Structure 1
Amino acid sequence: MVENTRQRRVAAMRTSERMLSGSRLPTMREQLAVLAERAELDGLPDFYGDGPVAVLEERVAELLGTEAAVFFPTGTMAQQVALRYGAERSGNPTVALHPLGHQEQHELRAYADLSGLRSVWPTTALRNPTAEEIAAIGEPVSSVVIELPLRDAGFVLPTWDELVAVAKASRDIGARLHLDGARIWDSTPYLEHSLSEIAGLADSVYVSFYKTLGGLSGAALAGTGELASYARAWRHRHGGLVFQQWPAALMALAGLENELPRVPELAWHARTVAAALAALPGVRVHPEVPHTHDFQLWLPHPAKVLGDTVLELAEETGTWFVSGWQDAGPPGWAVAEVRVNAPALDWTAEDVTEFGTKFLDRAAELSKRQAE
């Protein structure tokens, strides 16, 4: 039954003519077609990190304004290496993290179990720590981690001035500043500064190639040449020096060329979508004005009801609303992440209001039927 439901969802997403949140799942053939357009296919593949992988590393270092960047097969591996580097250079195994950060929530605390590090939490608030909270940590730390944006808090960002102050506070307590920048690509419109200016505040930056950019997989760790040399050695030790990764590298390069320039337009349109949703009865969005083209949508119905409603309406109308609902907050409420990607650019505020109303009416009907 679970597999059948998943298959129905995938089929409904792929056949939907309109999508408010997310993107249609491309087939492997469609992704191969993207690769086929790359001129690099006429050259030799990479062998343990040269060729197109090296080209990608150079491009990322150029965008971020760093001395070097190192390709990793996963962000989890890259982040472990970044924190280990800071701990070994300082002789201090303690790192400052947010409890909702990726290392704590989505990496099975690899920094602790594999690298022997420990964490302190400067804050538990639904935002990144402030400069004052970093200054008040009360014990030495080797690295301060700031996630841009902080996904599990609602894709929230500090202001530019707050980020500058955090960088200074980190230096003042003798710590490195590491940016968990899986979605740093999305941060430039809100921060009103370039990628290189943002990365220039930090000692190291991790970026993802499949988040926002639509790549197959992969990540990069950027910083000094010394960090890069260290990262290459530890990537090998972690088993991340893969024989050939040219498909991932070429898709990442395509994403940097084709998807990255769309980010400002998506970010501004997300504000239109969020405002229209927030005006509907019983609806909450967080943050009220999105910081990126992702934000949280809260509705007063159980997650199963909302998931079933999405599927029913998609199959009936060919329109995909918002998926990934999870029960959270007060009883009877659920939350989902709205991702305003290219398919949503065709939606006006009136379109969002019209279909959102239809969605809420159907959810109320379905909730009543399932309760009987």
Structure 2
Amino acid sequence: MSHNTRQRRLDAMRACDRILSGVRPTTMRERLADMDAGGDLDDQPDFYGDGPVTTLEARVADLLGTEAAVFFPTGTMAQQVALRYGADRTGHPTVALHPLGHLEVDERHAYAHLGGLRSTWPTTAPRNPTAEEITALAEPVSTVVVELPLRGAGFVLPSWDELAAASAAAHAIGARVHFDGARIWESTPHLAHTLSEIADLADSTYVSFYKTIGGISGAALAGTTELASYARIWRHRYGGAVFQQWPAALTALAGLDRELPRIPEYVRHARTVAAALTALPGARVYPAPPHTHRFLLWLPHPAQALNDASLALAEEERVWFVAGWQETAVPGMAMTEVTVAAPALDWTAENIAEVGERFLGRVVDH
């Protein structure tokens, strides 16, 4: 997408009165208000990780029920430290990953290029590995990574029993369990357990502060005090000991206060939205019902035609429906991710059907 097209979409979405998928883009001035909501701006800023960063770390450790948590500027860095720790402690350079996970798809194989580690895939199925697949691994692994939810497969989650069994199987083969919990915040309704109960199944958990809860950046790695000490050393070595990170810390704290309590409501309403979208001609959603407040949507039209229709609807009617369409391996069938957040809560199934008809009426297949 060109810069001009991206800016046009942002401007159109910001001007909309109603938004079904996603949240209204914010300006830098609006983000400053978030910082004020996250703490007292008259306090001193952090210096290499104290002050509001320490407050955020303690908050995360409390939410996840872990001994400690360490702030990182990026999730990529936090994940590399977690895997390096596992390899150092077990002596095994192999980690069990999913080919659709962040570590393989989004982090440019940093675990291999920076950490000298290699991966094995317990499964290529569009879900996290089962206990049986972990037990059947043909070589020793230092860490078994479970992404909650697995975005690349459609924001899918295992059941609680499946997750507990997978964790037990990993420990039984002498491996650590690491939860790639970038979006773990939205996993509690489906798993029907608290964040601390979920994290208790893992030896380490990574969380993101800009995904789901709306911070401007940052992540945390949570686990034992021993892991935290190790993580602080390697954070510095990786270049993550940033002089001041109070803007990220304060917006993360604000997000934990504002967004985290609302996630169960978003997940419930996502089921209504998904069912209504399924009624559109040729539509398909997955998973059905959604496991979180995000899911995948397919429509039988070219991606460019759908994106053009979405932008036209936004600019002419000030209504943002569903955008971000991409082509799939099936010609003429496009896919996108739908995110149901606060702006979507006042949309009824009838609203979605009505606007969906107007949206599809603007689609011009070429």
| TM bucket normalised to smaller | over 0.9
Cα deviation per residue 1:306-356 (whole Å; 9 max; x = unaligned)?
111110111111100112111113111111000001000010011111111
Residue of structure 2 equivalent to 1:312:
312
CA distance, structure 2, for counterparts of residue 185 and residue 194 of structure 1: 10
Residue of structure 1 equivalent to 2:275:
275
CA distance, structure 2, for counterparts of residue 33 and residue 202 of structure 1: 35
CA distance, structure 1, for counterparts of residue 165 and residue 38 of structure 2: 42
Cα deviation per residue 1:269-291 (whole Å; 9 max; x = unaligned)?
00000000112220000111000
Q: Per the alignment, in what secondary structure is the counterpart of residue 324 of structure 2?
A: coil
Residue of structure 2 equivalent to 1:127:
127
Cα deviation per residue 1:151-189 (whole Å; 9 max; x = unaligned)?
010000000000000010001111000000000000000
TM-score by length of 2: 0.99
Residue of structure 1 equivalent to 2:236:
236
Residue of structure 2 equivalent to 1:196:
196
Paired positions, count: 366
Residue of structure 2 equivalent to 1:347:
347
Residue of structure 2 equivalent to 1:150:
150
Residue of structure 1 equivalent to 2:2:
2
Q: Per the alignment, in what secondary structure is the counterpart of residue 140 of structure 2?
A: coil
CA distance, structure 2, for counterparts of residue 259 and residue 127 of structure 1: 27
Residue of structure 2 equivalent to 1:176:
176
Q: Per the alignment, in what secondary structure is the counterpart of residue 145 of structure 2?
A: strand
Alpha carbons 1:40, 1:52 under 8 Å: kept = no
TM-superposed deviation, 1:7: 2.0
Alpha carbons 2:206, 2:222 under 8 Å: kept = yes
CA distance, structure 2, for counterparts of residue 212 and residue 151 of structure 1: 13
TM-superposed deviation, 1:39: 4.1
Q: Per the alignment, in what secondary structure is the counterpart of residue 220 of structure 1?
A: strand
CA distance, structure 2, for counterparts of residue 245 and residue 88 of structure 1: 29
Alignment of 1:205-354 (within 5 A): 205-354=205-354
Alpha carbons 2:38, 2:253 under 8 Å: kept = no
Matched to 2:291, the amino acid is H
When structure 1 is superposed on structure 2, of 207-216 and 351-360 the one drifting more is: 351-360
TM-superposed deviation, 1:51: 0.5
TM-superposed deviation, 1:38: 4.3
Matched to 1:150, the amino acid is L
Alpha carbons 1:307, 1:325 under 8 Å: kept = yes
CA distance, structure 1, for counterparts of residue 140 and residue 37 of structure 2: 51
Q: Per the alignment, in what secondary structure is the counterpart of residue 249 of structure 2?
A: helix
Residue of structure 2 equivalent to 1:356:
356
TM-superposed deviation, 1:35: 1.6
Alpha carbons 2:69, 2:220 under 8 Å: kept = yes
CA RMSD of aligned residues (A): 1.0
CA distance, structure 2, for counterparts of residue 37 and residue 202 of structure 1: 32
CA distance, structure 2, for counterparts of residue 151 and residue 113 of structure 1: 23
CA distance, structure 1, for counterparts of residue 64 and residue 36 of structure 2: 27
Residue of structure 2 equivalent to 1:104:
104
Matched to 1:28, the amino acid is M
CA distance, structure 2, for counterparts of residue 227 and residue 110 of structure 1: 20
Matched to 2:131, the amino acid is A
Matched to 2:251, the amino acid is M
Where has structure 1 moved over 6 Å in runs of 4 or more? Answer: none
Matched to 2:224, the amino acid is T
TM-superposed deviation, 1:2: 2.7
Q: Per the alignment, in what secondary structure is the counterpart of residue 177 of structure 2?
A: strand
The alignment status of 1:118 with 2:118, answered yes or no, reads: yes
Unaligned runs of 5+ in 1: none
Residue of structure 2 equivalent to 1:23:
23
